Amino acid sequence: MPAPVDFLKYIDDNADRFIDRLGAAVAIPSVSGEAVHRPDVVAMSAWLDQQLQDLGVTTKIVDLGEQTDEKLHLPPAILGRIGDDPKKKTVLVYGHYDVQPAEESDGWSSDPFQLVIEDDGRLVGRGSTDDKGPIMGWLNVLEAHQALGRELPVNLRFCFEGMEESGSEGLDDLIKSEAAKGEDGWFDGVDCVCISDNYWLNTRTPCLTYGLRGLVYFSVNVTGPTHDLHSGMFGRMVHEPMTDLIALMGTLVAPDGTILISGIDELVPPLTPEESEIYENIDYSVQDVDEAAGAPIALSDDKVTLLMGRMRMPSLSLHGIEGAFSGSGSKTVIPASVTGKFSIRIVNPQTPELIELLVKAHLEKEFAKLQTKNVLTIKNIGDGMPWVTDPKDPNYEAASRATEAVYGRLPDLTREGGSIPVTLTFAESLGVNVLLLPMGRGDDGAHSTNEKLDRSNFIGGSKLLGTYLYELGPKE
């Protein structure tokens, strides 16, 4: 059924106040990956929990225990529920309230933890699109129904976490535990799942995402002397860890994106004509890549090649080096130990276990060629499986109708290049369809400087989330 007119009007009429609430959320620097900000992540959980309670949601704060290899307590998960009508479908909503690190010195045009409303409607701030904006969208839906005295068209369950940007530690165990409880579990009776933690491919066309690449994240450490050395005294006298590491990192991926580790690209199934047609029909262009990247740096002039590079092919990206000198000036040190970090986005039928074997074999072979006396250590520091679902499921069909109702056009059906490991956990643990329903645009810059969410997407996306619930219809 279509969403009520008064619901849509309420979202429009209260847009400025909703943006203020987003600003309040952005102002809490809930960076899960930095110990100094762990109290802020916990503060964000308390703020969100109170917001949900104020909107009529029954909540439960779940202690997830201690963080592995860290003397830190994990931020809690928030479970919520509203509605228990057996005639209605029950939808589980997932989101995360933690964010990536951000410093103004990184290149931000303003304080990343103060939401800036620009003249063109861009809402700039860390977490605005990933993932505080979508979470606020759900709060907007709840508030509209509460204020209008309307019953929600479905029963809602919520699962919000504070460690998604740091591996979602503890969340899988929670989901599996709740699922195993059956009727006594928090997720009992869930018919489908909705996640809004991804983005349109471009700036103009809404989409629904039915596939995700998985991820394997590696650290490669090279250690030599017991302490840093002076290059004037030891240069060309010792094996230098940085030299070895740079050589190793250069054997992983070619400038054109080709993965140089034997066996990884070869695992990808051949492209079928039917699949090729899907990519041909997606509203996308090379210009979309260049606009989102902020520079004309696309790897190819062919749209289909680019889309396959994002959706159906694995990719390897180099992320950084720890232990090396990175300050201003000219410090002439030979680092005693350096660690390179890189990740590989994987696709079906690849698995983290198989990729790890191939990566370690490659690095050990290349390290042996260096004939160095330094020591190599390779670690898998995080991984997740790829995921694909049926885009013809009623869950997706409802989201497609809702998208057409709000934006006046049917959405593209896409597979996403990013990874949301919890998607597969929900699908396997609950045995239901999982929908990825994005709010933001392809140029939002999640994880980057000047991350933003357009006002039109925040308000339109709030309408979309609510309309999707109405299009699901009653339980059959």
Q: What is the pLDDT of residues 152-183, one digit of tens each?
A: 999 999 999 999 999 899 999 999 999 999 99
Give tens-digit pLDDT for 455-474: 999 999 999 999 999 999 89
**Cα–Cα distance for residue pair 218/132, rounded to 1 Å:** 28
214-268+313-384 CATH choice from 3.40.190.290, 3.30.70.360, 1.10.1040.10, 2.60.40.420: 3.30.70.360
Give the integer Cα–Cα distance in Å for 187 and 395. 17
User: Is 90 exceeded by the pLDDT of residue 1?
Assistant: no
pLDDT digits (tens, 9 = 90+) for 128-148: 999 999 999 999 999 999 999
Note whether 5-212+387-472 and 214-268+313-384 share their fold. no
98 is catalytic: yes
Distance separating alpha carbons of residues 196 and 154, to the nearest angstrom: 17
Q: pLDDT tens for residues 121-131?
A: 999 999 999 99
- 164 annotated active-site: yes
Per CATH, the number for 5-212+387-472 is 3.40.630.10
Q: Which of 40, 49, 98, 130 is catalytic?
A: 98
pTM of the predicted model, to two decimals?
Answer: 0.84
d(C-alpha 246, C-alpha 66), whole Å: 35
β 433-436/155-161 pair status: unpaired
d(CA 105, CA 15): 31
The one catalytic residue in 49, 164, 165, 443 is 164
Return mean pLDDT, the chain: 96
Position 384 scores a pLDDT of 85
Domain layout of the chain by residue ranges: 5-212+387-472, 214-268+313-384
Residue 69: pLDDT over 90: no
| DSSP per-residue string spanning 285-348 | -HHHHHHHHTSS--S-S-HHHHHHHHHTS-EEEEEEEESS--SSS---EE-SEEEEEEEEEE-T
| pLDDT confidence tier of residue 214, bands split at 50, 70 and 90 | very high
Quote the pLDDT of residue 457.
98
